[in-house]
Structure 1
Amino acid sequence: NTKLIVVTVGLADVSDKENIKNIKNSVRKQVAEHLLKSLSVFHLRGGIDYGKLNFKHKIMMKMVYHSIKNKPTESLTQEDKAFIETYNKKADFVDYDSLNQIADAIQ
C-alpha cells in the first residue's frame, strides 16, 4: 500500500486542461507501469527570473523562444503564448495555498 506522489512545478497554467493532460502524459512516460496505480500527481505553478539564469539556461530558453516564435500564430497553444509573454522577464505564479492539497494527500 505504498503511495507515490509526484509534484511538478513549472510555468504552465495548471487550470488549463490541455496543460494538465500534457503534464500527466509526460509523467506517465517516466514512471514504471506498475507504479501508476498508486500514483498521485500534483501540478504547481512556479516562477522564473531570466536575470538569474546561467548562460547555458539563457541560451536554452532563447532557443525555445525562437522555436515557438517561428510557429504559425494559429497553432500556438496557451502555454506557447504564456512563454512568449513572459520571455526575458521575471514571472511569479507561485500560490502557496496550492500546497494544502499535497499535505492532505500525504496524511
Structure 2
Amino acid sequence: MKDTLVIYKSIYGSTKKYAEWIRDELKADFIGIDDVNPDDLYEYDNIIIGVPVFAAKSIRMSIIKKLLLKREDTRIFVFFVSRGQISHQDLYLDLSRRLRKDMRHRLKSYVFPGEINYVKLSLKHKAALGIVFRHLKRIVPSKRDEETQKFIEFYGKHVDFTDKKAIWNLIADCRTQKT
C-alpha cells in the first residue's frame, strides 16, 4: 500500500505549483488529472486532488465515488485554487452534494489563493471575470468587503497571491489523520 498521491489539474500554473509543494512536503506520488488511471488509485491511503476554481466541475466524481466505495479507509483531500469571488463553503457544498452522505466525512477541502495574469487568460475566462468585475463595481465602496475591493483593484493586472504557507493545514491533516 502506498501512502499519498497528488493529482492536479492546472490551467494557468497556480494549481500545479501548489501540487508540487504538497508533493515535495509529503514525498508523495504526483500525476496530472488527465493522466490518471482509476485502477491505480486503490493503491493509496490518501488522495489529494487540486483544481483551479475555473475547473472545479472537472473533478471526476465517478473516480472519487468508486474509490470511496471500494476502499473505506481511503481519505480524499481536495484543494481549490482561486483568485476570485468564491467561498470555501460554496465550493465544499457543491462538491459534497455530488457525494452520498455516508461518504462526505472522508472528504476534506481547502481553498488556496492563486495567481491571475490577465494577458494569459483565455477569452472565455476574461469575459467571465469582466462580468464579475462590472457587477462588483456597482457595489457602493463602503459596502465592499476586502475580497471585493481586492478584485476591483487588481482587475486587468498580473497578481500572484500564491503562498506556500497556505498548504500547511492540508499537510498537517494528511499527516495526522492516518488511520
Q: TM-score range by the shorter chain?
A: 0.7 to 0.9
SS in 1 for 2:139: coil
Are residues 1:48 and 2:116 paired? yes
Gap runs ≥5 in structure 1: 13-18
Do residues 7 (structure 1) and 79 (structure 2) align? yes
Please state whether the residue corresponding to 1:71 is helix, strand or coil. Answer: coil
What is the distance in 1 between the residues matched to 2:102 and 2:145?
32
TM-score by length of 2: 0.49
RMSD: 2.3
**Which structure's relative contact order is higher, taking Cα pairs within 8 Å and 6+ residues apart?**
1
Q: Residue 45 of structure 1 contacts residue 94 of structure 1 at CA under 8 Å; is this kept in 2?
A: yes
The match for 1:61 is: 129
- 1:23 corresponds to: 88
Percent pairwise identity: 23
Distance 1:25 1:56 in 2: 22
Q: What is the TM-score normalised by the length of structure 1?
A: 0.76
Counterpart in the other structure of 1:87: 155
Q: Structure 1 or 2: larger strand share?
A: 2
Aligned equivalent of 1:99: 167
Which has the higher Rg, Structure 1 or Structure 2?
2
SS in 2 for 1:85: helix
Q: What amino acid is aligned across from residue 9 of structure 1 in structure 2?
A: V
5+ residue gaps, structure 2: 1-72
- Asked if the contact 2:88/2:110 (under 8 Å) is kept, the reply is no
| Distance (whole Å) between structure 2 residues aligned to residue 11 and residue 54 of structure 1 | 15
